[in-house]
């Protein structure tokens, strides 16, 4: 483990700790098992979406369709799950496959169509949301109570949501990043040409990175299904931007090559908790959207403020 890589996560980790302290100060009740579980549930979907965003950001791209895949998979899961456990399990696997396929489509167009990722995923954002709306025109659906409980309850102070997140990280993220593919994903974002001359297939790496992104977004969609016990194809809309904000706040660099999972996960919980803290602090709900928007914009600006310090104009303008 290279400790230096984790320095970039420091802001998000410290920010999250301070926020939790503030939350406890304002609202001591959240230290109960119920409060902890509630808080964990609130941030887990975004944390998973942030992982989906991070893997694409590492390659040097951005995935604007993350929110759409979250909504699509949420719609699929809630529409087809029914109540029979066997069917529910099959649908869950199908949901993961659908999200992964959506990511695969993104990757195919980006890598082999050679189009700017940001505009490809803007277009697929509409396509995926559209498909989700065809599957589920109105919010609703049926989610088995057992499934919802399995993901959103807790063992004492340990929320199932965190266990789910850790399982996804431990069983999917870590093995992926420890594989040659994971190394290649970092490498192409860090030095595209260098990775190419080192024998890495840039296109194939991109394809699998977006595909993996689709998988993590589907995990977020599944968790959201359990959390809301309903399906809504448009529920993911806010996840696109918030996942970018979580990733940037978590120390990853838009442009690629730098970022570890810790920062974006903490960033995601930070952004999600913030709403609760604002609410607990008595801020009118009407202001919450505005404040969240302002924080997003400020995080982006601060993360890029090095441009103001750069002496060389040519370097200011380079991307």
- 169-228 residues in contact with another protein (CB under 8 A) are 175, 178-180, 183-184, 186-187, 190-201
Hey, what's the torsion of the CAs at 196, 115, 234, 134, to 10 degrees? -110
DSSP class of 284: -
Q: Residue 89 Cβ, how far from another protein at the closest point, in Å?
A: 24
- How far apart are alpha carbons 152 and 79 in whole angstroms? 19
Asked if 114 interacts with another protein (CB under 8 A), we say: yes
Q: Residue 253 Cβ, how far from another protein at the closest point, in Å?
A: 9
Binding segment toward another protein, per CB under 8 A, in 81-89, 153-161, 212-220, 289-297: 289-297
Q: Residue 314 Cβ, how far from another protein at the closest point, in Å?
A: 6
User: Could you tell me if 17 and 9 are in contact, meaning their C-beta atoms sit under 8 angstroms apart?
Assistant: no
- How far apart are alpha carbons 235 and 69 in whole angstroms? 10
Task: State which of positions 13-42 bind another protein (CB under 8 A).
Answer: none
- How far apart are alpha carbons 53 and 42 in whole angstroms? 18
Per-residue binding string, another protein, 121-140, x by CB under 8 A, is: -xxxxxx-xxxxxx--x---
SS3 83: coil
Q: Which of 31, 34, 149, 304 binds another protein (CB under 8 A)?
A: 304
Task: State which of positions 46-65 bind another protein (CB under 8 A).
Answer: 60, 62, 64
- The phi and psi torsions of 100 (rounded to 5 degrees) equal -65, -40
Q: Residue 74 Cβ, how far from another protein at the closest point, in Å?
A: 15
Question: Per the structure block, which two tokens stand in for 7?
Answer: 């320095």
Binding segment toward another protein, per CB under 8 A, in 43-51, 90-98, 145-153, 295-303: 295-303
Q: Exposed (0-12), middle (13-18) or buried (19+): which is 7, by Cβ within 10 Å?
A: exposed
- How far apart are alpha carbons 213 and 211 in whole angstroms? 5
Closest of 95, 83, 106, 81 to residue 132, by C-alpha: 95
Task: State which of positions 64-103 bind another protein (CB under 8 A).
Answer: 64
Nearer to another protein, 156 or 318 (CB): 318
Q: Residue 147 Cβ, how far from another protein at the closest point, in Å?
A: 26
Q: Which residue do the tokens 């309850």 mark?
A: 153
Nearer to another protein, 93 or 317 (CB): 317
Q: Residue 120 Cβ, how far from another protein at the closest point, in Å?
A: 7
- How far apart are alpha carbons 4 and 55 in whole angstroms? 19
Q: Which of 163, 241, 275, 280 binds another protein (CB under 8 A)?
A: 241
Nearer to another protein, 27 or 238 (CB): 238
Nearer to another protein, 2 or 93 (CB): 2
């Amino acid at each position: 483990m290279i400790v230096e890589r984790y320095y970039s996560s420091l802001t998000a980790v410290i920010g999250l700790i301070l926020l939790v302290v503030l939350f406890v100060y304002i609202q001591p009740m959240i230290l109960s098992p119920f409060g902890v579980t509630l808080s964990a549930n609130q941030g887990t979907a975004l944390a998973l979406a942030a992982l989906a965003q991070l893997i694409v950001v590492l390659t040097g791209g951005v995935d604007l369709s993350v929110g759409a895949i979250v909504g699509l998979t949420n719609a699929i899961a809630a529409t087809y799950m029914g109540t029979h456990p066997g069917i529910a399990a099959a649908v869950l696997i199908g949901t993961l496959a659908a999200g992964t396929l959506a990511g695969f489509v993104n990757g195919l167009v980006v890598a082999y169509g050679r189009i700017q990722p940001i505009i490809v995923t803007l277009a697929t954002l509409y396509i995926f949301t559209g498909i989700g709306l065809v599957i589920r025109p109105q919010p609703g659906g049926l989610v088995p109570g057992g499934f919802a409980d399995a993901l959103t309850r807790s063992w004492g102070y340990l929320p199932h949501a965190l266990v789910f997140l850790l399982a996804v990280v431990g069983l999917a993220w870590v093995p992926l990043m420890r594989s040659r593919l994971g190394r290649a994903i970092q490498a192409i974002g860090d030095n595209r040409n260098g990775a190419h001359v080192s024998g890495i297939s840039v296109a194939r790496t991109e394809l699998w990175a977006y595909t993996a992104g689709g998988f993590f977004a589907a995990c977020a969609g599944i968790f959201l299904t359990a959390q809301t016990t309903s399906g809504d194809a448009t529920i993911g809309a806010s996840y696109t931007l918030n996942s970018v904000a979580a990733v940037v706040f978590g120390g990853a660099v838009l442009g690629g090559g730098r970022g570890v999972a810790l920062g974006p996960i903490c960033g995601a919980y930070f952004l999600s908790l913030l709403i609760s803290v604002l609410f607990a602090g008595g801020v009118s709900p009407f202001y919450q959207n505005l404040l969240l928007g302002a924080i997003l914009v400020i995080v982006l600006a601060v993360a890029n403020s090095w441009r103001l310090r750069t002496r060389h104009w040519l370097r200011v303008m380079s991307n």
